[in-house]
Amino acid sequence: GNPLVLLAGPCVLESYERSLYIGKTIKEITSRLGIPYVFKASFDKANRSSYNGYRGPGLEKGLKWLQSIKDELNVPVVTDIHNETQVEPVSKVVDVLQIPAFLSRQTDLLYTAAKSGCVVNVKKGQFLAPADMKNVVKKLEEAGSEKILLTERGASFGYNNLVVDMRSFPIMRSTGYPVIFDATHSVQLPGGAGTSSAGNREYVEFLARGAAGVGVDGFFMEVHDNPEEALCDGPNMVYLDKLEDLLKDLIAINEITKKKINK
């Protein structure tokens, strides 16, 4: 019977002011709607299709900004990490360490993240069957963690395309941990723009409502006040001014679904 949680923010920390503005606006929305909010932004995009892509402010400056935003908004913060050495400094600032999908089977990264005491949110690899996430969970549990989130963000479907197999929600939920739907990365077309990934923002709302119908515990969305200007993942980010309407629908659908998935 828990309310849906929302992990949201810009793809990457662009300027401090813009990141704060986006987070603040989302905080106001989620407060009105009565759902918990976790601010999300990356300090470094470590696997852009090409060098030309903006990577972010980097670890040091990024963590300062995340700390400020956390203090300013009084919300927990999630960010993604890319190797074991980042766990220690990042875990001092954030509440949720996120394991990127490509890295979802890197044993040492999982182990170190689990040891940090933070919540660990693992994005299911595009190459992984939902049932195989039980092995990921086991790695985290054996490192002593019981604060785990599992996120669906699409599975490889031929080339330059992802498909969301919604059977993954009940399958991953059977591990006993909450399941999140990453509604914006799931509509990416990886490599689809030649030197960067394309995406279909138009499907975000459809798939998000679908996931709410199937039954999830929360949503992950990248949100921007002007995705056309965004320095990363513009083609799939949600417009900030459309977020509230979408969340209202998700909450309403969840009211129906949650009676079924919690029994």
Angle at 28 between CA 154 and CA 149, to 5 degrees: 35
Instruction: State the minimum distance, in angstroms, from the CB of residue 257 to a second copy.
Output: 6
Return the residues of window 9-38 that contact a second copy according to CB under 8 A: none
The count of other CB atoms within 10 Å of the CB of residue 45 is 18
The contacts of residue 36 (CB under 8 Å, 6+ apart) are 3, 5, 6, 30
240 binds a second copy (CB under 8 A): no
CB of 70 or CB of 82, closer to a second copy: 82
CB of 88 or CB of 131, closer to a second copy: 131
Report yes or no: 26 and 57 within 8 Å, Cβ to Cβ: no
Return the residues of window 70-109 that contact a second copy according to CB under 8 A: 82-85, 102-103, 105-108
Report the residue from 28, 71, 249, 262 that binds a second copy according to the rule CB under 8 A: 249
195 binds a second copy (CB under 8 A): yes
Question: Where does this chain touch a second copy (CB under 8 A) — which range of 15-23, 28-36, 46-54, 64-72?
Answer: 46-54
- Cα(195)–Cα(179) distance, integer angstroms: 31
Question: Where does this chain touch a second copy (CB under 8 A) — which range of 12-20, 28-36, 114-122, 166-174?
Answer: 166-174
193 binds a second copy (CB under 8 A): no
CB of 33 or CB of 46, closer to a second copy: 46
Instruction: State the minimum distance, in angstroms, from the CB of residue 65 to a second copy.
Output: 21
CB of 164 or CB of 223, closer to a second copy: 164
- Cα(141)–Cα(84) distance, integer angstroms: 17
CB of 95 or CB of 205, closer to a second copy: 205
Amino acid type, 21:
Y
142 binds a second copy (CB under 8 A): yes
Binding site for a second copy (CB under 8 A): 46-51, 55, 82-85, 102-103, 105-108, 125-132, 135, 138-139, 142, 155-161, 163-167, 169-170, 187, 190-191, 195, 200, 202-203, 205-207, 209-215, 249, 252-253, 256-257, 260
